[in-house]
A = this chain, B = another copy of it.
Amino acid sequence: MGESNVKLVGYWPSPFALRARLALHLKSVSYEFIEENLLEPRSELLLKLNPLHKKIPVLIHHGEPIIESQAIVEYIDEVWPNAPSILPSDARQRADARIWVSYIDEKLIPALIVGLIAETEDAKRAAIAELEETVGMLERALRKLSKGKHFFGGDNIGYLDIAFGPFFLWIEVVDKFNEAKLLSEAKTPCLLRWAHKSFFSHAAVKDLLPDPEKLAEYAVKLRPILIARFASK
């Protein structure tokens, strides 16, 4: 299956890179992991592989780069069609999964960035209010889509779990930064059960999860970089 031809440029705390790694692990594809330290200037390799966005992850398959985390996940699902499949087989379920991944990318991730860079008390309050609404929508989506089963798509881990899981870790980081309670038994019982009973303990996931303490330490170092990039917008 050409696994020896697979490399992934990523960085251990990057939630986008983690999406690609989760997909590779789920398909049991072995690959070489090339670290790109996001606290340093971009490497020549990354600039050459992804001149379009200068971002990780980059999957390299047979020498050719593939960029954008969700495009990589879909590519992996198509090129290694062995079980388990990542996208649901039903067209409507596929559409639902794609719609919620768009929601994560367009709403949750920008709100998490705002939550990480908020400096004043007012800015923190506004960021947490926005995140509470967004996380609440995801709680309701999980309840509706999972129909009481373990994962967003039902019995098996899939596209939406892989897209969301890496950012669940960052909701916890933002909670810690802002001394907030975005996740709680009262407000997000389904998300907590999904994370702690299903997702985190899945065989393809558990060895890849960054340590929460180390992730929070990384976030402290990442914060001034994010502020320089986003705070003026």
Across-interface contacts of A61 in B (CB, < 8 A) = 92
Residue in B closest to A79 when the chains form the complex, CB atoms: B91
Residue A75 CB within 8 A of the other chain: yes
Decide: B92 and A64 in contact? CB cutoff 8 A.
yes
Residue A94 CB within 8 A of the other chain: yes
Residue in B closest to A141 when the chains form the complex, CB atoms: B52
Bound-state CA distance A95–B60 (Å) is 12
Residue A126 CB within 8 A of the other chain: no
Residue A102 CB within 8 A of the other chain: yes
Q: Which of B68, B72, B95, B103 contacts A75 (CB 8 A)?
A: B95
Residue A74 CB within 8 A of the other chain: yes
Residue A137 CB within 8 A of the other chain: yes
A residues 23-68 in Cβ contact with B at 8 Å = 52-53, 61, 64, 66-68
Given contacts A52-B137, A75-B94, contact A68 B102 (CB under 8 A): yes
Across-interface contacts of A103 in B (CB, < 8 A) = 52-53
Residue in B closest to A95 when the chains form the complex, CB atoms: B75
Proximity bits, A92-107, B CB within 8 Å = 1, else 0: 1011001100110000
Q: Which of B52, B98, B137 contacts A71 (CB 8 A)?
A: B98
Closest CB in chain B relative to A103 CB, distance in Å? 6
Given contacts A79-B91, A92-B66, contact A71 B102 (CB under 8 A): yes
Residue in B closest to A80 when the chains form the complex, CB atoms: B91
Decide: B98 and A74 in contact? CB cutoff 8 A.
yes
Interface set of A (CB-CB < 8 Å, partner B): 52-53, 61, 64, 66-68, 70-72, 74-75, 78-79, 91-92, 94-95, 98-99, 102-103, 137, 233
4 other contacts beyond A67-B99, A74-B94, A74-B98, with CB at 8 A cut-off? A61-B92, A68-B99, A71-B102, A78-B94
